[in-house]
Amino acid sequence: MLVLGIESSCDETGVALYHTERGLLAHALHSQVAMHAEYGGVVPELASRDHIRRVLPLTRQVLSEAGCTLQDIEGIAYTEGPGLAGALLVGASVAASLAYALKVPTVGVHHLEGHLLAPLLEPNPPVFPFVALLVSGGHSQLMEVIGIGQYTLLGDTLDDAAGEAFDKTAKLLGLGYPGGPALSKIAQLGQPGRFTLPRPMLKSGDLNFSFSGLKTAVLTLAKQHTLDDQIRADIAHAFQEAIVEVLTKKSLAALKQTGLSRLVIAGGVGANAQLRDAFNHAAAQKKFAVFYPKLEFCTDNGAMIAFAGAMRMEKQGRPARDFPIKPRWDLESLVNLA
């Protein structure tokens, strides 16, 4: 079955074609980062308008790269939420209209399920069950994943998400938007041990996170120093070290609590090199297996939506998208609207 996937929940338009037997055939992405950068963050209305501009050209592009035509599409998956309402509406309405014209079914995909299943696109995918650490711009969650759609929340952030903490800290250090990759880049030049920041909630006895205090600690440090390049790098290093330690230790605790030995890292922060180093090191030491999506599928993309949608359509069957008529229809069966 050939599924077209459309992601438009935030500031990236992603489109992909996934075939249940042949795998990922093509994917394309347009990032709006440059457009939002001058405002220091995502401007929802601009995001929606840009999705409108990009979604059809990207769809043509993936069809041409995969050597397919519109008529080959057998189902359409789109991000139903969570995300920016206007941005989501673009993907949803394009998916619904195309599906109507092509007479194929649609499936609305949960954006985080897309992230969570993205490592399954890799050559050596994890088998269920596993623990997933979902670290994106809006979420920091530990999840027990038994199968597709079988998710139990083990821990959540009480305030800022990990990506949000990266972005806000980067802004404090004058690194602009989006902060995560920029902060991680300068952190490499930081002097280890120059500053030490708190490890929030490490001893809380549960699997929850809290990152807003870390941002405040960075603000205090920043006020105490003249921010030259080296101080910025030293603070960035200390911030990254603290956040990585909390994420690794809590994930290890989640593996222990569930008795599972496979860990999936998903979402934008999963692209962070120091985070990956720390998890690889822990996995070798503590004998568990760790799985990541490839770097470009850590952040938002259409491939994860096409894949998650295809998995759902395969499991749920393909709802017929036709024009229903009822040659036999009992008047008494109508829903009571009183």
From 50, 80, 113, 167, residue interacting with ligand KG4 (rule: CB under 6 A): 167
105 binds ligand KG4 (CB under 6 A): no
- Candidates 22-30, 88-96, 163-171, 279-287 — which segment interacts with ligand KG4 by CB under 6 A? 163-171
- Candidates 97-105, 130-138, 142-150, 191-199 — which segment interacts with Zn ion by CB under 5 A? 130-138
From 24, 105, 299, 305, residue interacting with ligand KG4 (rule: CB under 6 A): 299
119 binds ligand KG4 (CB under 6 A): no
- Candidates 34-42, 90-98, 172-180, 252-260 — which segment interacts with ligand KG4 by CB under 6 A? 172-180
Q: In this complex, which beta carbon is closest to ligand KG4, that of residue 75 or of residue 138?
A: 138
163 binds ligand KG4 (CB under 6 A): yes
Task: For tokens 């995918």, name the residue.
Answer: 125
Q: Look up residue 243 and give its two tokens.
A: 């956040």
Quick count: other Cβ atoms within 10 Å of Cβ 261? 14
From 136, 140, 169, 240, residue interacting with Zn ion (rule: CB under 5 A): 136
Q: CA 109 to CA 77: how far, in whole Å?
A: 6
268 binds ligand KG4 (CB under 6 A): yes
Q: Closest approach of Cβ 215 to Zn ion, in Å? A: 20
Q: Closest approach of Cβ 172 to ligand KG4, in Å? A: 14
Q: Closest approach of Cβ 180 to ligand KG4, in Å? A: 2
Q: In this complex, which beta carbon is closest to ligand KG4, that of residue 73 or of residue 271?
A: 271
Q: In this complex, which beta carbon is closest to Zn ion, that of residue 13 or of residue 136?
A: 136
Q: In this complex, which beta carbon is closest to ligand KG4, that of residue 75 or of residue 178?
A: 178
241 binds Zn ion (CB under 5 A): no
Q: CA 300 to CA 307: how far, in whole Å?
A: 13
Q: Look up residue 269 and give its two tokens.
A: 């922060």
Q: Look up residue 259 and give its two tokens.
A: 């008795």
Q: Closest approach of Cβ 300 to Zn ion, in Å? A: 4
272 binds ligand KG4 (CB under 6 A): yes
7 binds ligand KG4 (CB under 6 A): no
Q: Which residues bind ligand KG4 (CB under 6 A)?
A: 10, 115, 136-138, 163, 166-167, 178-181, 184, 267-269, 271-272, 299-300
